Every structure is written in C-alpha cells, then in structure tokens.
Chain A
Amino acid sequence: MPARIMKWIDHRFPLTNFVKHELTGYPTPRNLSYWWNFGFLAGFVLVLQIATGIFLAMHYKADIALSFDSIQHIMRDVNYGWLLRYMHATGASAFFFVIFVHMARTLYYGSYRAPRELLWWTGQGLLLLLMATAFMGYLLPWGQMSFWGATVITNLFRATPFFGDQVVVWLRGDYTVGDATLTRFFALHYLFPFIICAAVVIHLVALHTVKSSNPSGIDLAAKDNIPFHPYFTAKDLYGLGWFLIIYCIFVFFLPDSLIEPANNIPANPMQTPNHIVPEWYFLPFYAILRSVPDLVGGVLAMGLSVMMFAFMPILDRSRIPGGAHYRPFYRWQFFLFIIDMLVLGYVGYTPPTDSTLLLGQVATLCYFGSFFIIPFVSRMEERWLIKRGLPPAVIELMAGEAAAIERHKQSHEQRKGARL
C-alpha cells in the first residue's frame, strides 16, 4: 500500500527523487569535521525560535502599557511560560553563537572562495536578516534596555543624507520610540523569521549546486563523497546532543546571565540608564560605531564592518588551494582577527573612558586593516609558497584528485566508446 501511494505521488510530484537527491543521497565529502555541524545547528535553532516564538506570541501583548506586564504574566502564570521565554531569549544568543562559528569556519577553511561566492553572499544576507530580527525582538519586553537600545539605534538613521530626521520618524512611526514603534517591531519580528526561512532555502539551493567544501579546502572528486544519510544525519544528531546540553545549561541554570539587569525595569523615557549596552552579539559592531567621533562616519563604519565579510571572495587573491590549514600567513591573520573581535566586544561592553576609546579606535583600525591587507598578503603568500614549494600534503592531494578526475574521464570515454 505505501509503495502504491508513493508511486501515485511520484507520478505527479518528484518526491522520491527530491528526497534521494537533496536529502538522503546528497553527496558529502567524507572528511568534514565537526566544524561543519554548525549549518545544521543554525537551521535547528531557527525552527526552535519560530516554535517558541509562536507560543510566546499567544500570550504577549504588543502595547506599551501592557507588554512588560505580559512578559511577567508569561514568566509567572502561563504553564511553562518561563520555559518558553527563557528558551526564546537564550535561543537568540545561541543563534548568533552558532552563526558566528559557522562564519568563522567558512573564513578559516576558505569556503567562500570560487565557486561558493553566491553561497557566501546569501549567507551574508541571512546574517543581516538575523540581526534585524534580533534587534526588533529585543524591543518587545519593553524594558529600559529595550527602549534605549531601540532609541539609540533608530536615531543612527539621522545620518541619512537630506532627510535623516524624516527617516527616523518614519522608522519609529512617532517622534520618539513609542507604541507605534512597538507594534510595528512586533509585526516585523513575527514576519522576518519566515523571510529567513525562504532565504535559507535559497542558501541551500546554492549549497546543493556547488556542494559542501571540506577541511582540505580542495574540491575533492566524487570518490571521496559519501551520502548525507545515514553518515551525516548521525553525525549532525550527535553534535546536536552537545549543542542541546550547553543550551539547556543556559536555559535552566543561567538564563539571566544573558539578560541585562536594566531590562527588568520597565521602559522609562524620562530616565536614561547610566550605561546603554546592546546584546553581546552586537558588541564588536557597537564598539566600531562608538570609535568614530562623527555620527555619519560612525554609522558608515558600523555598516561597513558588518558588510566586510561579503568582500572576502574578491579580497582573497591567492590561488593556492586549501584553507588556512595550508596558508601560514592567512592562518595568522585569521586568529589575530578573532582576537581583535574579542577586544572590540570588550570595548563595546565597558563604559567609554579615554583608554577604552583609544583601544577601540586601534581595534577598529585593525578590523578594517585586516580586510584591506588581504589582497596584498594573499598575493605575497602565494608567491612565497610557490617559491618555497607547496606543502607536500597539498601536492599529494592535488595529484590524487587529478588522477581521480583523469580515471573518471577515461571510464566515461570507455563507456561512450562501448555504446558506439
């Protein structure tokens, strides 16, 4: 009976074929390390956020007179409402954590290089959507930090040339962040995750066209591919176990470590908190904003700092195959960049003083500098590596691949010859 149903469907819709090609049989390099788990984890967190978010929306009230109370209603009166809320709030941090690791992996192994530029750029689009969604979601509890964070960030749009002030009013729906802002942020916060889902589909279509890269950074011939199922379903599920353990430690034992104390005070437009900080995942970019003394300059620098990743396929001029593993200079650059991000995060977190301002400016220069020197360093590194000789491992890999491709061609010719 099930076979007959499947036949009926397949006659009208390519279900079996789709599952075989895109899910179970999707050819995957067998040498993928655990760093390749994070794409799947990001998809998992997206589903988790949508699921908890929909249930939260059933109890939440988007009205400045009621929203703070409605969160407390969820925390205290709704059955397992505290669980939903802490899962959702922690989930936002988990989402960024997973995405940052996913991006760091791409940068380290050079997975953004040809032919994966479009894959990387769709990912960049996803990052922007995620940031917008998180930013709007943060207003919804209507705490002090929600209100002042939204005020500071919407105010940045004053930097728009000619009609900056009008843009700010247009975004807020009012002269200050108020009820109109809250209701539109809620509406968009509910909408954006579904746009993200659509963007994820595009990201996956791109992935399935160019296929996954792998830790060697060299495109392996088909001989080293194994079907996604059961090998990577099993590996992803095992990784998911570890992810859930860490996530649940935060949800059950440290949920408030990710919520600013000031956000447990209802929003008060008459009283500025003495120190406005964004969520941890925005801190490096916030530090860059604050490091530029001029508003327009700061906004441009912050916007550019998020967008810099998109230039990587163009900036990286090295034709040496392989990721940072085979590229000593690039590897150093990568780790220094991570350290620079941490320094920026620290600067964004602490109240501004003369010394942190200076530190932030130096770190901002290093941030952009590390992108701008990539074309020169990668060229130089290429020449250096060629003169010195490629690492034996790379040569071996490439020779192996070339041979495999040759063999593949020959057997193809033979088959063609046999048919003729």
Chain B
Amino acid sequence: MSKLLIALLLCATPLAYAHETALTKVAVQTDLPTMERGADTLMNNCHSCHSLKYIKYRDLMKLGISKQKVDGWRGELGLDTPLLAQMSESDALQSFGTAPPDLSLMTKARDGGPDYVYSYLLGYYLNASGVPGNHIFPETKMPDPLGVSGTSDPAQLNSIKDQARDIVSFLNWAADPQQSARLRLGYYVIGYLLLLTFLLYLVKNQIWSRLD
C-alpha cells in the first residue's frame, strides 16, 4: 500500500510533465566567476529590455560581485534600487507588441526551468528565406539576443553556448538567492532528524519490551 501511495505523490509532481519540443539540458553552475560572467552578459545583452525587479544592486554585492563592477552597472542609482529595465514598458510594447517579462523568477516560471531558458536562448535559427525563427518558442517576439542564428563558426557558437549557460546560472540564483543557504541547512536538519529518529526507535523498543 505504501508503494502505491508514494507513486501517487510522485506521478502528481510536475516532474512527470514532458515538454513538447525536447529541451537541451544545461549544467547550472553556482560558482562566483560564472555568476559574475552571467551578470555581466545579462547587464549588457538583456537589461536594456528586461527587468530583474526582485534583485537589488546590493544583492549582487552580497553575492560576492565586486563593488567596482556593481557601481559600474548602477551609475547614479542607489544600492537598494531594483534592477528595472532600461527601456520603459510602453516603449517595449510599441516595439515588440508585448512587454518583455521580468526575469527574476524566469527559471522557475516555465516547465523545464533552466533547461527551457537555455534551449530558448539557443533555439534561434534562420529559415530558408533568411527569416529568424525559434525552435522552442516559434512565435516569440524577442529578437535573437545572443546572435546564434547568424553564427556558423563552431568556436563562436561554443562561446555563445557558454554565455547562455552563464546567464542561466545567474538567473537560477536570481530566482532563489536563498537556495545555497537552504541546501546547507537541509543537510544539518536531515542529519539531526536521522539521529533523533534512531534514538526514538531505541526508546520505543525499550518501552515496548516491558510488555513481553
């Protein structure tokens, strides 16, 4: 009976949900240099259109990015300003017909999570008549931000793939800045509970042995 119930729990989680187009898996990184590169690319290539409104400049410093870099990005803005898009929403609406979504929760807001964002960024191609399209999100209004569709040089393509991985890693942090604290605490909690449960097992046996 227990197996069936666990199966009920598992088959009901979103893990079982498959995306229509196969997504490319991305190895999300958590080291500081990757974060810094990702933030850099994001500030240069995406920040013009997209906001990260749940992230403040101070959060970037807390992550470990140097003050110098952060100061370069924020200019006159205070440390507690959220990362709003440089383009106003009405301008964006006029140019693209749709507002670029906020990216702070993006890796959690799509089926497939980081894999989706990675595949989407690299999914651009030029069709036979030279019109750009996207395999993952065919009707997207976003112009190819990393320039994959026009690139055929393998070395350059690889560096674009690295860029995409760095961006996705950074976005993965932005979606859940407390993740590393959570995992760290999690190991202690599980360790403690295993010990506690073992002791409770001994106590229970001790008490029940009185009945024999």
A345 touches B8 (CB 8 A): yes
Which residues of chain A have C-beta atoms less than 8 A from B15's C-beta?
257
CB B209 to nearest CB in A, in angstroms, measures 11
Contact with B along A230-246 (1 / 0, CB 8 A): 11001101101110110
Kindly state whether residue A264 has any CB partner on chain B within 8 Å.
Answer: yes
Bound complex: CA A299 to CA B201 (Å): 47
Kindly state whether residue A48 has any CB partner on chain B within 8 Å.
Answer: no
Please provide the chain B residues from 57 to 82 with a CB less than 8 Å away from any CB of chain A in the complex. Answer: 59
CB B203 to nearest CB in A, in angstroms, measures 6
Kindly state whether residue A108 has any CB partner on chain B within 8 Å.
Answer: yes
A264 touches B108 (CB 8 A): yes
- The contact of A338 among B1, B104, B108, by CB within 8 Å, is B1
B186 touches A101 (CB 8 A): no
A248 touches B193 (CB 8 A): yes
The contact size tier of chain B is 35 or more
Which residues of chain B have C-beta atoms less than 8 A from A363's C-beta?
none
A237 touches B8 (CB 8 A): no
B186 touches A342 (CB 8 A): no
A241 touches B200 (CB 8 A): yes
CB A194 to nearest CB in B, in angstroms, measures 28
Which residues of chain B have C-beta atoms less than 8 A from A249's C-beta?
190
Which of B126-134, B149-157, B177-185 faces chain A?
Answer: B177-185
Contact with A along B1-32 (1 / 0, CB 8 A): 10011011101111111000000000000000
Please provide the chain A residues from 337 to 380 with a CB less than 8 Å away from any CB of chain B in the complex. Answer: 338-339, 341-342, 345-346, 349
B211 touches A252 (CB 8 A): no
Bound complex: CA A260 to CA B13 (Å): 9
Which residues of chain A have C-beta atoms less than 8 A from B108's C-beta?
256, 259, 261, 264
Kindly state whether residue A104 has any CB partner on chain B within 8 Å.
Answer: yes
A345 touches B11 (CB 8 A): yes
CB B189 to nearest CB in A, in angstroms, measures 5
CB closest chain-B residue, reference A86: B182
Please provide the chain A residues from 91 to 131 with a CB less than 8 Å away from any CB of chain B in the complex. Answer: 93, 97, 100-101, 104, 108
Bound complex: CA A104 to CA B183 (Å): 34
CB closest chain-A residue, reference B55: A76
Please provide the chain A residues from 294 to 344 with a CB less than 8 Å away from any CB of chain B in the complex. Answer: 335, 338-339, 341-342
Which of B84-92, B109-117, B136-144 faces chain A?
Answer: B109-117
A264 touches B105 (CB 8 A): yes
CB B71 to nearest CB in A, in angstroms, measures 22
B4 touches A230 (CB 8 A): no
Which residues of chain A have C-beta atoms less than 8 A from B125's C-beta?
none
Which residues of chain B have C-beta atoms less than 8 A from A240's C-beta?
200
A339 with B110: in contact, given A231-B211, A234-B207 (CB under 8 Å)?
Answer: no
Bound complex: CA A335 to CA B9 (Å): 17
A238 with B14: in contact, given A252-B185, A345-B8 (CB under 8 Å)?
Answer: no
Bound complex: CA A226 to CA B208 (Å): 11
B13 touches A76 (CB 8 A): no
A234 with B1: in contact, given A253-B186, A258-B13 (CB under 8 Å)?
Answer: no
Shortest Cβ-Cβ A-B pairs, 4 listed: A252-B186, A241-B197, A280-B12, A264-B109
Can you list 24 contacts pairing A with B, beta carbon distance less than 8 Å?
Answer: A72-B54, A82-B178, A93-B9, A104-B1, A238-B200, A238-B201, A238-B203, A251-B186, A252-B182, A252-B183, A252-B186, A252-B189, A253-B183, A253-B186, A257-B13, A259-B108, A261-B111, A264-B108, A265-B105, A265-B109, A280-B12, A283-B12, A341-B8, A345-B8
